[in-house]
A = this chain, B = another copy of it.
């Protein structure tokens, strides 16, 4: 998949460029690049993020298996009464490995073989919490509306989870694993689910995607329904985490709910394509981190996935066989509006960041968004909004006359 666009193009070339951050870095004077980073890219907007040097056994895996690897450190102020709470967090983005026409068992095995060295690199780097991309164990076949892809679904404790439980134990690592779930106890229904595996390999719990898209080729509502697990925060050995799966990132209320339940890091494992969402990608994650005083880890798969049978996209264009380009660009956002550079738009990658969780409360104290939120107004508004007789608060210019004359 990746080969078709994934070559490492010369910096400065615009087609197939690795990341906008790198492109700007190589095209702008350092002084101007620094200002761009302060105002729009987020690397120098608070305490500047620092590069972390990773151990050689991690970087050598990146060279050997040809995946992007980058690492940064977010800073918090020193406090008198609390020690720093620095957690090393990793995000993995990847393309699929075999053609979508291959036997499903082989496809799944090939993806596991591909991400295994990336997880090994995370382990070698001392990552505490790792998150994979949405439905990482399959192609994102929901564009096709063919139900045969449901075969990929697994119970929560299925093959993919077992594969990760071993690695979790080996590396003493919490792993968030977003899969297509088959709910055996409820009529074999399908869900889009994140499984949270504790650092001892135990399953802590699950979260099911709350908001399901109906846009472009995102025909996921054909396959599964809105999640029924609320907005759980998982208290792990390394901090309180939550998962806002893919399209949920467009819903500020979904982000808010994880914050109200106490999340300090919220992952957004996604699968999204360029023409549709790329301009929104950094905005929504960074806004959520700012508004809710927590860290966000955003992950998007990479590559172009081609399917065996043609399908249409409801846009009047001819039938075709691919979903468009998944643009990668995984990154971390901080509560102080800082942001790491993104991973490649084309290559597999592992992004690591040291997050001092103390920054969350420091930003709450500084900006006071929670205290000034006036939740009672909104609880009341939403209650009224849901009533069938809801009347919006509209003040009409009397000069407009009566409604029937407008």
Q: Judge whether B369 and A375 touch: CB under 8 Å.
A: no
Does A343 interact with chain B (Cβ within 8 Å)?
no
Q: Judge whether B372 and A231 touch: CB under 8 Å.
A: no
Which one of B230, B290, B393, B394 contacts A280 once the chains associate, using CB atoms below 8 Å? B290
Chain B residues whose C-beta falls within 8 Å of the C-beta of A287 in the assembled complex: 252, 283-284, 287
- Report, as a range, how many residues of chain A touch the other chain: 35 or more
Q: Judge whether B29 and A337 touch: CB under 8 Å.
A: no
Q: In whole angstroms, how far apart are the Cα atoms of A369 and B280 in the complex?
A: 14
Q: Judge whether A234 and B279 touch: CB under 8 Å.
A: no
Within 8 A of B (CB), among A253-298: 253, 255-257, 260-262, 278-284, 286-287, 290-291
A346 CB, nearest partner CB in chain B, Å: 14
Chain B residues whose C-beta falls within 8 Å of the C-beta of A52 in the assembled complex: none
A325 CB, nearest partner CB in chain B, Å: 13
Q: In whole angstroms, how far apart are the Cα atoms of A233 and B372 in the complex?
A: 22
A87 CB, nearest partner CB in chain B, Å: 14
Does A210 interact with chain B (Cβ within 8 Å)?
yes
Which one of B198, B256, B396, B398 contacts A252 once the chains associate, using CB atoms below 8 Å? B256
Within 8 A of B (CB), among A322-379: 337-338, 366-369, 371-379
Q: Judge whether B31 and A215 touch: CB under 8 Å.
A: no
Q: In whole angstroms, how far apart are the Cα atoms of A253 and B255 in the complex?
A: 11
Does A112 interact with chain B (Cβ within 8 Å)?
no
Which one of B42, B252, B383 contacts A379 once the chains associate, using CB atoms below 8 Å? B383
Among residues of B, the one whose C-beta sits closest to the C-beta of A382 is B379
Which one of B24, B234, B279, B395 contacts A205 once the chains associate, using CB atoms below 8 Å? B395
Q: Judge whether A230 and B377 touch: CB under 8 Å.
A: yes
Q: Judge whether A200 and B399 touch: CB under 8 Å.
A: yes
Which one of B367, B383, B396 contacts A250 once the chains associate, using CB atoms below 8 Å? B367
